[in-house]
């Protein structure tokens, strides 16, 4: 009997605790502060790293703004801190800056301070990701012409400089020079309040903002690594938005939205190694893949089979290209024809996958492996970690490498195809395995062109790649899932992959 009493005694405090919880009823956010649950803790809150997803979602266009902004719907460029821009000559752009804009610390936004901000991000002695990702090959020389006129000179013609400036966040002039500020100051609608490492980042509405007063009074960012937990937090009202949840957790159509996350998946073909140097073999690879069988099983049902390495809203996407049909008989026929001409089609080809590059990455490669084997290819599958994968994916390439199909995914939400084509397909491109004179000519011509002409040249380039060269086994334009609490009125878009503008959120 005694032990029964003891057990009861033990369970009593637990039950009491649970009861207290019921009364407390969890932390339901009914105020006008938006709580965002990210997939991982930001390492740093420096705006010069805002091209990284989870940092951009906190900082970009919330704390710090850019001179121009890229419209996720059609890739067009709209004014933000600059109201107008014009190309003075081939090497010079002039931006007219918005007047009456203040930084959160009270400093004035003007051309002189814009120069300080640009030079900070582009400082060659530190590794700001915005510089490394978008300005690695470009030297900018910004100068103040007068209070509200900024002139930017470049060493080589930069016809899309206004697009590029959509990635350059403008920090306050008193920001420490070295990367790693823990007190980001900008001109945005929200100012930085605090960052408690391991716990949260807090922003509050900036009363001196130049634009319309946003509805949300503040934002709080927390993070959980586990997708199921993020989804549960929105379901219980502990958070309002989980920008990125896994397919298997997106179970409630009232809360879960799919959106093109600007990623396009593919297998990069190494064209320099036999038998992959023969176009019939590359065509056969594409015919051998049953993309429909993978859609809704390994990949989400919302993904779209791709023909271009950029998503449809990026300027230069060619909508007229045809998705490779699944035709194993045709694949076998092409392989046989190549073999008859002496192409060593029996050489072993390695499918080099990268662990976790996207959900079900390994399963996708296992299915691809089986399909290629079925079509008569001699393939083996190898899954590697990111470090090893990058070594093989970027120049300099190892001389003794064999034929490789490398699992890859490319993200371009920057508005223009130039961010894609030079790196992936130019003769000198750091991740290119092809060298085609026509492609290089198109890259040069399109880079120097603007407007419709530019778009048509990119489209011609994607047509040549898709039909005449076949440098990839194209897979899908990928989707992401965002869970949004019904109390908010907000729709995720292409840009949700890299930013989350709290000022665009309304309350229902």
Partner 1 sequence: MGTYLARRAVHSFVSLAGLLILVFFLARLTGDPTNLYLPLDATLEARQEFAERHGFNDPVIVQFGRFLSGLAEFDLGTSIRKHRPAADVVLEAIPVTLGLAAVTMIVALLGAIVVGSLAAYRPGRIFDRLASVISLASASAPDFWVAITAILLFAVTLGWLPTSGTGGFAIEYWIMPIGVLLIRPFGLMVQVVRGSMLTALSSAYVKTARAKGVTERAVIFVHALRNGMLPVITVASDQAAGIANGAVIVETIFGWPGVGKLMIDSILYRDFAVIQASILITAAVIFTINIVVDIAYAVLDPRIRHH
Least Å distance between CB 479 and partner 1?
21
Q: Is 384 exposed, middle or buried (0-12, 13-18, 19+ CB in 10 A)?
A: middle
User: Of the two residues 235 and 460, which places its CB atom closer to partner 1 in the complex?
Assistant: 235
Q: What's the CA gap between 195 and 12, in Å, rounded?
A: 38
Chain positions 235 to 264 lying near partner 1, rule: CB under 8 A, are 235-236, 238
Q: Return the DSSP state at 464.
A: I
- 41 is an interface residue for partner 1 by CB under 8 A: yes
User: What are the DSSP E strand ranges found in 64-179?
Assistant: 65-66, 68-70, 77-79, 82-89, 92-97, 140-146, 149-154, 169-170
- 270 is an interface residue for partner 1 by CB under 8 A: no
Least Å distance between CB 2 and partner 1?
8
Q: What's the CA gap between 367 and 372, in Å, rounded?
A: 9
Least Å distance between CB 35 and partner 1?
11
Residue 144's alpha-carbon distances to 178, 182, 372, in angstroms, are 23, 28, 58
- State residue 365 phi and psi, 5-degree precision: -75, -35
Sign of CA dihedral 119, 124, 128, 129: positive
Give the binding range for partner 1 (CB under 8 A) out of 6-14, 53-61, 279-287, 497-505: 6-14
User: Of the two residues 95 and 423, which places its CB atom closer to partner 1 in the complex?
Assistant: 423
Q: What is the DSSP string of 180-208?
A: --SS---SSSEEEEEEETTTEEEEEE-TT
Whether omega before 396 lies within 30 degrees of 0, making that bond cis, reads yes
- 18 is an interface residue for partner 1 by CB under 8 A: yes
Of 139, 213, 301, 395, the one binding partner 1 (CB under 8 A) is: 395
Per rule CB under 8 A, count of chain residues that contact partner 1? 55
Least Å distance between CB 432 and partner 1?
12
> Which residue matches tokens 């956010």?
29
- 76 is an interface residue for partner 1 by CB under 8 A: no
- 194 is an interface residue for partner 1 by CB under 8 A: no
Of 129, 256, 263, 499, the one binding partner 1 (CB under 8 A) is: 129
Give the binding range for partner 1 (CB under 8 A) out of 10-18, 61-69, 207-215, 367-375: 10-18
Q: What's the start-to-end Cα distance of the chain, in Å?
A: 57
Provide the CA 193 distance to its chain's centre, in angstroms.
Answer: 27
- 68 is an interface residue for partner 1 by CB under 8 A: no
Strands 82-89 and 218-223: unpaired
- 223 is an interface residue for partner 1 by CB under 8 A: yes
Least Å distance between CB 11 and partner 1?
11
- 268 is an interface residue for partner 1 by CB under 8 A: no
User: Of the two residues 4 and 437, which places its CB atom closer to partner 1 in the complex?
Assistant: 4
Q: What's the CA gap between 301 and 42, in Å, rounded?
A: 30
User: Of the two residues 10 and 329, which places its CB atom closer to partner 1 in the complex?
Assistant: 10
- 51 is an interface residue for partner 1 by CB under 8 A: yes
Torsion of CA 24, 26, 31, 35, to 10 degrees: 160
- 356 is an interface residue for partner 1 by CB under 8 A: no
Determine contact, residues 333/327, Cβ cutoff 8 Å.
Answer: no
Binding mask 421-440 toward partner 1 (x if CB under 8 A, else -) reads --x------xx---------
Residues at the site binding partner 1, with contacts judged by CB under 8 A: 3, 6, 10, 14, 17-18, 20-22, 24-27, 41, 43-44, 46, 51, 124-125, 127, 129, 132-133, 136-137, 179-180, 197-199, 222-226, 228-229, 232-233, 235-236, 238, 386-387, 390-391, 393-396, 419, 423, 430-431
């Amino acid at each position: 009997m005694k032990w029964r009493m003891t057990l009861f005694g033990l369970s009593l405090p637990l039950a009491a605790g649970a009861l207290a919880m019921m009364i407390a009823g969890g932390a339901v956010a009914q105020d006008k502060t938006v709580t965002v649950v990210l997939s991982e803790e930001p390492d740093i809150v420096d705006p010069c790293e805002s091209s990284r997803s989870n940092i951009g979602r906190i900082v970009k266009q919330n704390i710090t703004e850019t001179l121009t902004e890229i419209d996720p719907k059609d890739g067009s460029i709209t004014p933000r801190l600059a109201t107008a821009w014009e190309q003075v000559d081939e090497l010079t752009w002039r931006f007219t800056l918005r007047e009456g804009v203040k930084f959160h610390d009270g400093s004035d936004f003007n051309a002189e301070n814009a120069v300080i901000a640009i030079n900070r991000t582009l400082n060659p002695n530190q590794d700001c990701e915005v510089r490394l990702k978008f300005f690695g090959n470009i030297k900018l020389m910004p100068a103040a012409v007068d209070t509200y006129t900024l002139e930017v000179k470049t060493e080589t013609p930069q016809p899309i400089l206004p697009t590029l400036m959509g990635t350059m966040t403008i920090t306050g002039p008193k920001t420490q020079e070295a990367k790693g500020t823990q007190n980001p100051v900008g001109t945005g609608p929200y100012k930085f309040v605090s960052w408690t490492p391991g716990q949260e980042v807090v922003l509050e509405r900036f009363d001196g903002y130049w634009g319309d007063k946003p509805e949300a009074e503040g934002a709080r960012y927390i993070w959980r690594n586990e997708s199921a937990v993020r989804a549960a937090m929105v379901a219980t009202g502990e958070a309002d938005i989980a920008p990125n949840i896994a397919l298997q957790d997106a179970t409630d159509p009232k809360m879960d939205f799919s959106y093109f996350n600007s990623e396009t998946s593919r297998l990069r073909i190494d064209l320099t190694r036999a038998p992959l140097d023969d176009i019939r073999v590359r065509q056969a690879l594409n015919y051998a893949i049953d993309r429909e069988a993978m859609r809704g099983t390994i990949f989400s049902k919302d993904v779209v089979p791709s023909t271009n390495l950029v998503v449809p809203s990026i300027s230069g996407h060619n909508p007229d290209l045809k998705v490779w049909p699944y035709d194993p008989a045709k694949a076998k026929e092409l392989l046989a024809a190549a073999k008859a001409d002496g192409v060593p089609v029996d050489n072993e080809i390695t499918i080099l996958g990268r662990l976790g590059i996207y959900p079900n990455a390994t399963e996708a490669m296992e299915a691809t492996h089986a399909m290629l084997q079925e079509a008569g290819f001699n393939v083996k599958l190898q899954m590697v970690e990111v470090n090893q994968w990058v070594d093989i994916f970027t120049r300099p390439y190892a001389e003794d490498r064999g034929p490789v199909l490398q699992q890859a995914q490319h993200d371009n939400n920057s508005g223009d195809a130039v961010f894609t084509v030079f790196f992936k397909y130019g003769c000198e491109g750091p991740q290119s395995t092809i060298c085609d004179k026509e492609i290089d000519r198109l890259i040069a011509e399109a880079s120097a062109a603007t407007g419709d002409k530019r778009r048509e040249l990119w489209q011609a380039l994607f047509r040549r790649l898709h039909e005449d060269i076949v440098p990839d086994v194209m897979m899908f334009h990928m989707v992401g899932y965002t869970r949004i609490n019904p109390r908010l009125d907000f729709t995720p878009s292409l840009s949700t992959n890299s930013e989350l503008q709290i000022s665009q959120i309304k309350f229902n």
